[in-house]
Amino acid sequence: MHTIDQLDDGRAVYLNGERIQVSQVPIFRKTLALNNQYYALQKSHPAVHTYTENGHTYDIAFKVPRTVDDLRQKHQAYQEIAETNNGMLGRTPDFLNTGMAILAEKSAFLGHNQYTNFAENAKNYAKWIKENDIFISHALQNPQLDRSQPINGIPKGYAGVHTIERRADGIVVSGAKMVNTMAPIADDLLVFNPPELLLEKGDTSYGVAFATPLNTPGVKVICRKLLDHPGYTEDDYPLSNLLDEIDAYIVFDHAFIPWDKVFVENDYDMSNRFFIESGMFIHTSHQDEARGITKLEFATTVAIRVAKLLGLDHFLGVQEKLGRLTANLELIKGTIARSEDTGHLDEQGIYTPNLQALTAVRANLPAFYEDAMRVTQHLAAGSMVGVPGFEEFAGDNGDILQQALTTNLATAEERSKLLNLAFDLSSSGFGQRQLMYEYYHGGDPMRIRSKHYLDEDLHAGNAMLDRLLRD
Ligand SMILES: Cc1cc2nc3c(=O)[nH]c(=O)nc-3n(C[C@H](O)[C@H](O)[C@H](O)COP(=O)(O)OP(=O)(O)OC[C@H]3O[C@@H](n4cnc5c(N)ncnc54)[C@H](O)[C@@H]3O)c2cc1C
């Protein structure tokens, strides 16, 4: 766990054209405080959030699940962490930590080269992360610079991160990664390539996976624009003034990575296999979807509360819309439970969730979340966009607004607070980025659905069909 001041460690973070100290950005301070609830819950609810191994206590995210109950306990912990931020922080430390625990178990496939043993490096790094409960963020997606070329056919070297020098003590890397959520406030950065847009033969210098502290010389974190509203209070922007899960472009300019932090090098095929074969993908997906329940439940509840506030909830047509949202929520809860109940023990004896069930969640949760946002927009409509700034209640118009905005169901301030929340969730820049996050953070939704179709086991359906066609 780190405090905000510890993030002023020399890391090169840029915002709006200037190099900044992370601690000086108010919304980063607030975001880190919420992120640190991951650590606080280990103390306040240790029965769920911690476990003991060889006499040491660790966060439950690091537990390698051996039974369905282990997976369920992890699920509960993920949801409790997500509840501290209404599901709006996707990349709290539990996300990658659960992946690191599995990487440590399965690292043998990484092998070695003449300089180093990649399998041992991954194991040792994961052990260090666990013992020190480090907060890592990950950068995999490569910038889309020219789709007509293989990655190393694109000049200037910013189409990904690649080795430019191999030395006895490590590698020197340059290049870029397109978007990295939470990088400015994480401790370490894990860099690898995505499992969907695969590197091809000849892309070997881009075939890397490694970890590095954010303050490594040559690493630059260039933030997107902030989404908070400094001139307003949290009553006006209850979500965007509470946190900004900041995304950033990452540039590497001759950054030195010692061999013991390198897990794949000069190997396009291993780089393509890294995320899936390490088991990181499936176990981080389990964390991700458990968090998704929390976010969907929050958005569903906001829509229902808005309907009640505005006296719309008695209309059958509105109830039908709200029922669609609650049914969607149940489908997600049920499918994640199915992923746990129908998991299997893999060859290392790790209890592994059912990937088809988890992928079904990823394929549908974004649209369900968007549905909740749209219903909120359509129910809150003009009432929502007509809410004045909260300062008005303390100004010349305060008395008038108190009377004019008080309804048979709520006081003017209660009404304004909820409608401001509804606006922030469904319509502000913050809300739109949250929606984008749901659609894209887990990879391209088109490829997710296509893969689901290709992997689905339909032997029962085929048997029925064949019987009919035969008879
Ligand atoms: C809020 C947010 C946070 C993120 N955080 C991270 C992070 O922390 N780390 C990280 O590494 N990445 C992160 N990402 C990036 C994410 O992994 C990618 O956005 C995702 O994998 C999709 O890749 P892309 O954006 O390059 O989409 P593209 O591949 O450029 O696709 C863009 C669109 O074009 C469509 N398309 C592409 N190819 C075809 C085709 N052949 N035929 C038809 N349609 C096509 C896609 O379906 C998609 O709709 C984040 C993204 C978002 C939005």
Strand bridging mode 209-213 / 262-264: antiparallel
How many angstroms does the Cα of residue 119 sit away from the middle of ligand 1? Answer: 29
Give the residue-averaged pLDDT of 319-337.
98
| 242 torsion bin: left (phi>0), alpha (psi -120 to 50), beta (else) | alpha
d(CA 157, CA 291): 36
- Range in 155-164, 297-306, 452-461 with the lowest mean pLDDT: 155-164
How many angstroms does the Cα of residue 447 sit away from the middle of ligand 1? Answer: 10
> Does the structure show a pLDDT above 80 at 59?
yes
Give the residue-averaged pLDDT of 96-122.
97
Tell me phi and psi for residue 264, to 5 degrees: -145, 140
The residues spanned by each domain of the chain are 4-277, 280-461
How many angstroms does the Cα of residue 458 sit away from the middle of ligand 1? Answer: 29
Model confidence pLDDT, tens digit, residues 60-86 = 999 999 999 999 999 999 999 999 999
Token output for 390: 């909260």
Query: Is 145 annotated among the ligand-binding residues?
Result: yes
Smallest Cα–Cα separation from 419: which of 391, 382, 390, 380?
380
pLDDT of residue 155: 86
> Does the structure show a pLDDT above 90 at 232?
yes
Token output for 346: 């893999």
| 450 torsion bin: left (phi>0), alpha (psi -120 to 50), beta (else) | alpha
Percent of the chain's residues with pLDDT above 70: 100
- Closest Cα to atom 6 of ligand 1: 180
How many angstroms does the Cα of residue 191 sit away from the middle of ligand 1? Answer: 17
> Does the structure show a pLDDT above 80 at 334?
yes
Query: What's the sign of the alpha-carbon dihedral 45, 51, 54, 57?
Result: negative
**Atom in ligand 1 nearest the alpha carbon of residue 91:** 8
Q: How confident is the model at residue 1 (pLDDT cuts 50, 70, 90)?
A: low
Token output for 400: 């008038």
pLDDT of residue 196: 83
Q: How confident is the model at residue 150 (pLDDT cuts 50, 70, 90)?
A: confident
Query: Is 305 annotated among the ligand-binding residues?
Result: no
Q: How confident is the model at residue 423 (pLDDT cuts 50, 70, 90)?
A: very high
> Does the structure show a pLDDT above 60 at 468?
yes
Q: Which CATH class is domain 4-277?
A: mainly beta
Residues with CB under 6 A from ligand 1: 138-141, 144, 179-181, 247, 433, 436-437, 440-441, 443-444, 446
- Closest Cα to atom 26 of ligand 1: 144
d(CA 339, CA 308): 34
- Closest Cα to atom 48 of ligand 1: 444
Model's pTM, two decimal places?
0.96
Asked if the 280-461 domain carries CATH number 1.20.140.10, the reply is yes
Q: Give rounded-to-5 percent helix, strand, coil for the chain.
A: 55, 15, 30
Give the residue-averaged pLDDT of 155-163.
92
Model confidence pLDDT, tens digit, residues 5-57 = 889 999 999 999 999 999 999 999 999 999 999 999 999 999 999 999 999 99
Smallest Cα–Cα separation from 284: which of 453, 137, 108, 80?
137
**Atom in ligand 1 nearest the alpha carbon of residue 444:** 22
d(CA 295, CA 288): 11
Residues 6+ away with beta carbon under 8 Å from 222? 14, 248, 249, 250, 251
Mean pLDDT computed over every residue of the chain: 96
Token output for 170: 């490590």
Query: Is 159 annotated among the ligand-binding residues?
Result: no
